Amino acid sequence: MNTLLSSVLLAIFAMAAAPGALATSVNGRASNFSSTCTKISFNSANNSLTATCELSGNTGTETTTIPLNACVGNDNGELAAGSNFSTSCGNISFSGVTLSATCENPTGNLIHTSIDLNSVLSNNNGVLHCGV
Ligand SMILES: *[C@@H]1O[C@H](CO)[C@@H](O)[C@H](O)[C@H]1NC(C)=O
Ligand SMILES: *[C@@H]1O[C@H](CO)[C@@H](O)[C@H](O)[C@H]1NC(C)=O
Ligand SMILES: *[C@@H]1O[C@H](CO)[C@@H](O)[C@H](O)[C@H]1NC(C)=O
Ligand SMILES: *[C@@H]1O[C@H](CO)[C@@H](O)[C@H](O)[C@H]1NC(C)=O
């Protein structure tokens, strides 16, 4: 009898705990794309980024690709929000969520620079977008 009661109580506690655990995995974090996107990959052939991102309301995911030249520019030798960074930057690499490159500044000097793509990209209901 006591064993049966314990089992029932354990089952009730387990059911009560589950919704709380699920609730913490959803949205309200969309401005930081890396917190709601997975499989983030960089294609060096065309400087594009592909990621699988959560839809609003935890209704699934979508995989999209965005050309980083639409979101990232060369601002006086530093990677920054803007466009067409690849026309004046070389040695382009990607790690985690950080894009790195060697960019030319207005006086012709080459500067090694990096940018956290969370500062220029967002997850807009599953779709990668420029801007945060
Ligand atoms: C983005 O979210 C990740 C994971 O939650 C966190 O580690 C990182 O610090 C955040 N970055 C910014 C710029 O908010
Ligand atoms: C860039 O390359 C990837 C992988 O080959 C492809 O999916 C994507 O459509 C290409 N173009 C752009 C603009 O991202
Ligand atoms: C970026 O490059 C595209 C394609 O070459 C061009 O149409 C656009 O005007 C450029 N934008 C800027 C801000 O230079
Ligand atoms: C090229 O990039 C790598 C890795 O980001 C860096 O260590 C190296 O200094 C860069 N080379 C030049 C010439 O800027």
DSSP 1: -
**Which residue lies with its CA nearest to atom 9 of ligand 2?**
65
**Backbone dihedral angles phi then psi of residue 117, each to the nearest 5 degrees:** -65, -15
- pTM given for the model: 0.77
Residue 89 has pLDDT above 70, yes or no: yes
Helices (H), ranges, 24-130 = 33-36
Atom of ligand 1 nearest to the CA of 118: 13
Query: Closest by alpha carbon to 123, among 111, 112, 132?
Result: 132
pLDDT digits (tens, 9 = 90+) for 92-125: 999 999 999 999 999 999 999 999 999 999 999 9
Mean pLDDT value across the chain: 83
Percent of the chain past pLDDT 90, that is, above it, reads 72
Pocket of ligand 2, candidates 39, 44, 47, 48: which has the most ligand atoms within 8 Å of its Cβ, to mutate? 48
**Which residue lies with its CA nearest to atom 7 of ligand 4?**
112
Helices (H), ranges, the chain = 2-23, 33-36
> For 1-24, what is the mean pLDDT?
40
pLDDT digits (tens, 9 = 90+) for 36-47: 999 999 999 999
